[in-house]
A = this chain, B = another copy of it.
Amino acid sequence: MIVVMKPDATPAEIQHVIQLVQQLGMKAHPIYGTERTVIAAIGSKRDECRQSVASSPGVESVVPILAPYKMASLEVKRERTVVRVGPLWVGNCHLGIIAGPCSVESYEQMLATARAVQAAGATALRGGAFKPRTSPYSFQGLKEEGLKILAAARQETGLPIVTEVLAASDVELVASYADVLQIGARNMQNYRLLEEAGASGKPVLLKRGPAATLEELLLAAEYILNAGNQNVILCERGIRT
């Protein structure tokens, strides 16, 4: 990280930051400019020590050098990830086509839809059994009955199933039926859910929240990756209707 001192920082303040950086296990490279001093701290562990340096007297700001996400960057894992679930391949130029209705309504509906989307080239079937609803009075989905219908449609067609999970406490149930867990835009920063989905071992399709920045999306993915799950599919979303 780079520590930017205030223009009027005193030599004692500069010296204090240099020592603090060294105590934190990094090498300090002070660079004395005409207007201000900047201290490059080499060997940092990203976010962790940043707060204590930033709050030292005479410090104007601390600028991170590396992206705040590790596992979501190509820096750590050099080759591009391909998530593979039967016929569904996503990543590194593989284009998966995941198709299906908003909600699972009945076995007949799902089977007819599954056959139609398969004929049209889809490589996975989607359908909501647990529905995130803006209103508590809207239909909330068929829940486990919907998951069973999805599994039956998979049985008939061979298409893997992508379906949304809304709560950390539902991950185990949904993962027992689904091939890919979908996390919706509204839950992109539901960290407990991200951790549970990560721990499930199932691939996760993570949708971008409305107004979320790219960095926020990648850090949300990092929660899943950090739980030991390398199979994360990022899905652009977030346009309002």
- Chain A contacts to B: CB under 8 angstroms: 2, 4, 7, 27, 29, 31, 33-34, 38, 40, 42-43, 46-48, 51, 63-66, 68-70, 75, 132-139, 166-170, 186-187, 189-193, 208, 210-216, 219, 222-223, 226, 236, 238-241
Question: Which of B31, B51, B187, B214 contacts A42, CB < 8 Å?
Answer: B31
CB distance from A137 to the nearest CB of B (A): 5
Beta-carbon contact of A136 and B226 below 8 Å: yes
Question: Which of B170, B189, B210 contacts A134, CB < 8 Å?
Answer: B189
Bound CA–CA A222/B213 (angstroms): 24
Q: Which of A133, A139, A190 has the most CB of B within 10 A?
A: A190
Beta-carbon contact of B216 and A65 below 8 Å: no
- Chain B's closest residue to A50 (CB) is B138
Q: A236 — which chain B residues lie within 8 A by C-beta?
A: 239
Bound CA–CA A216/B136 (angstroms): 11
Bound CA–CA A70/B135 (angstroms): 10
Beta-carbon contact of B40 and A38 below 8 Å: yes
Beta-carbon contact of A191 and B166 below 8 Å: yes
Beta-carbon contact of A169 and B169 below 8 Å: yes
Beta-carbon contact of B240 and A212 below 8 Å: yes
Bound CA–CA A92/B69 (angstroms): 38
Q: A66 — which chain B residues lie within 8 A by C-beta?
A: 4
Q: A29 — which chain B residues lie within 8 A by C-beta?
A: 29, 31, 40
Beta-carbon contact of B189 and A167 below 8 Å: no
Beta-carbon contact of B211 and A192 below 8 Å: no
Beta-carbon contact of A47 and B135 below 8 Å: yes
Supposing A29-B31, A192-B169 touch, asked if A136 and B40 sit within 8 A by C-beta, the answer is: no
Bound CA–CA A136/B211 (angstroms): 20
Bound CA–CA A128/B208 (angstroms): 26
